[in-house]
Amino acid sequence: MANLHDLSFWQAKAASLSIESRAFINGVYVDAVDGGTFEKTSPIDQRLLAKVASCDQADANLAVKAARDSFNAGVWSERPPAVRKKILLKFAGLIREHGDELALLDTLDMGKPIGDSRTVDINGTARAIEWTAEAIDKIYDEVAPTASNELGLVTRQAVGVVAAIVPWNFPMIMAAWKFAPALAMGNSFILKPSEKSPLSAIRMAQLALEAGIPKGVFNVLPGFGHTVGKALARHMDVDTLVFTGSTGVAKQLMIYSGESNMKRVWTEAGGKSANVVFADAPNLDEAAEAAAGAICFNAGEVCTAGSRLLVEESIAEAFTAKVRQAMKKWTPGHPLDPTTKMGAIVDSSQMQRVLSYVDKGKLEGATLTQGGNLQAPVENGCFIEPAIFENVSNDMAIASEEIFGPVLSVIPFKTEEQALSIANDSIYGLAAGVWTSNLSRAHRFSSKLQAGSVWVNQYDGGDMTAPFGGFKQSGNGRDKSLHAFDKYSEIKATWIKL
């Protein structure tokens, strides 16, 4: 009999899945006000998954009103932190309980392997909520060091209505990094998932209600960026806008804010991260496996993807050969097969974009030594064999622009100074890796890297305890850890004459 380790189990589950595709406003599922929908197909085989509500200004108005009314009514914002914690923990529990269904929705929607959706995405989402919920009744405010005839209170309070616009690469985790601290702090929340992956967010809304989050406090508006995304970003009654996505859209959101009510805008944007391997790396085999994983995991659709591999010249040839070998293990497979490591690219337009960079790399004079071809583990699917370019210089488009796909650029360097200068020569500053056995170099180099996250002798480490975000055009503010609460609170100083 088929079980959850079999492709046939997941294919049968997918065939019988019932998919909710309406917006969630004020505690109920509703069609878009104008009845508009868009067709959501799967990148696995182009099957139609659902006709999803295509929200716009009128829907944004309704959701913002529901959020504002619930905030003002105090049904959530005025509950004790310990009560909000308990409800959020229940929400996380429901996400775990419905993990297989949510994981399947994401896999069908955006093509990632079911094995990753069930582990990385479900655990990452539940853990984000649990960690944040656990923190909220342990944070204290401050008393200022005043003269004895005055009392100075420094308190944090919820900002009010928070709207979040998120991408498709980790649909639930990117949302949870926003809604967990926003809700924990007492705000009311509107989530605009990507039009490329709206289904799990829509389903989570029902679970939030079931957990006890009152109606109006958690709303979901599926639709496009230039319609409902823009409507939220320009809305006069949204207090804070949080975003994860591309740098271009992040800049646009800052303009919308300036043109409307100067709402706070916090952005997690693009990346072109350098993974720097010195000849004295403690274990070159491990480093090569990690370098391959850094560009192939989630089909390279990761903001922190190690897309620039900087290798010390003396080991460049031998090390790159190891990376090529390691990348062969990431051949795309059926996303519903639990043994698949690399799934589909999110849709055909993203696939074309990735292929266009493969062409560009060749035209620029870099050497494509492996991959870059279309693959067809499933008929009509969007699959690409991971590509590795050698003889790359940092000014080429493949090394300076974010591709957001499995395309690796290998750039040799001679000295530590040169490696640092290449690593930092980017408009982005999201993350970086450095591999060396030299402790002094590890510290010296890490401290000079212009990146929000630095990994030494590993790639992509971290958990909810550490903040995540970027320098430069990779954004502002931080998700995760206690630092995340800064986005969802205003700080008030109250002076009391005694």
- Closest C-alpha among 141, 136, 133, 158 to residue 77: 158
- Closest C-alpha among 415, 450, 456 to residue 433: 456
The CB-of-92 to ligand NAD minimum distance in angstroms stands at: 21
The CB-of-264 to ligand NAD minimum distance in angstroms stands at: 15
Q: Which of residues 43, 111, 186, 270 is near ligand NAD by CB under 6 A?
A: 270
390 in contact with ligand NAD (CB under 6 A): no
Residue 303 designated active-site: yes
Residue number with the smallest Cβ distance to ligand NAD: 225
118 in contact with ligand NAD (CB under 6 A): no
At position 343, the amino acid (one-letter code) is G
Residues 268, 289, 312, 416: which is the catalytic one?
Answer: 268
Q: Which helix (H) or strand (E) holds 114?
A: helix 114-116
- Closest C-alpha among 210, 224, 131 to residue 173: 131
DSSP-assigned beta bridge partners for residue 387:
407
What are the start-end ranges of the H helices in 185-312?
A: 199-211, 230-233, 247-259, 284-296
Q: Which residues contact 73 (CB under 8 A, 6 or more apart)?
A: none
- Closest C-alpha among 89, 63, 84 to residue 218: 63
Applying CB under 6 A, the site for ligand NAD has a residue count of: 31
Site residues for ligand NAD, 425-444, by CB under 6 A, read 430
362: tokens are 């060749």
Query: What track of x and - describes contact with ligand NAD for positions 164 through 203 (by CB under 6 A)?
Result: -xxxxx----x-----------------x-xx--------
475 in contact with ligand NAD (CB under 6 A): yes
398: tokens are 């493949």
Q: Which of residues 402, 429, 451, 489 is near ligand NAD by CB under 6 A?
A: 402
Q: Which of residues 27, 113, 245, 381 is near ligand NAD by CB under 6 A?
A: 245
Q: With respect to ligand NAD, which residue has the nearer C-beta, 37 or 438?
A: 37
Count other C-beta atoms under 10 Å from residue 474's C-beta.
29
Q: With respect to ligand NAD, which residue has the nearer C-beta, 201 or 396?
A: 201
What secondary structure letter does DSSP report for 430? S
The CB-of-124 to ligand NAD minimum distance in angstroms stands at: 12
Of 136-144, 242-250, 326-334, 392-400, which part binds ligand NAD (CB under 6 A)?
A: 242-250
- Contact at 8 Å (CB) between 480 and 489? no
Q: With respect to ligand NAD, which residue has the nearer C-beta, 87 or 241?
A: 241
- Contact at 8 Å (CB) between 292 and 326? yes
Please provide the distance, in angstroms rounded to a whole number, between the alpha carbons at the two ends of the chain.
75
Residue 55 designated active-site: no
Q: How far apart are CA 395 and CA 407, in angstroms?
A: 16
Q: Which of residues 239, 268, 390, 460 is near ligand NAD by CB under 6 A?
A: 268
The CB-of-243 to ligand NAD minimum distance in angstroms stands at: 7
Q: How far apart are CA 309 and CA 306, in angstroms?
A: 7
Residues 303, 382, 402, 416: which is the catalytic one?
Answer: 303
The CB-of-469 to ligand NAD minimum distance in angstroms stands at: 7
Q: Which residue has the tokens 């019988």?
A: 16
The CB-of-213 to ligand NAD minimum distance in angstroms stands at: 22
The CB-of-78 to ligand NAD minimum distance in angstroms stands at: 31
- Contact at 8 Å (CB) between 455 and 273? no
Of 118-126, 389-397, 432-440, 468-476, which part binds ligand NAD (CB under 6 A)?
A: 468-476
Query: What track of x and - describes contact with ligand NAD for positions 208 through 227 (by CB under 6 A)?
Result: ----------------xxx-
Q: Is 209 exposed, middle or buried (0-12, 13-18, 19+ CB in 10 A)?
A: middle
Q: How far apart are CA 240 and CA 487, in angstroms?
A: 8
Q: With respect to ligand NAD, which residue has the nearer C-beta, 226 or 329?
A: 226
What residues are annotated to the active site?
268, 303
Q: Where along the sequence are the contacts to ligand NAD (CB under 6 A)? A: 165-169, 174, 192, 194-195, 224-226, 229-230, 233, 244-246, 249, 252, 268-271, 303, 402, 404, 430, 470, 474-475
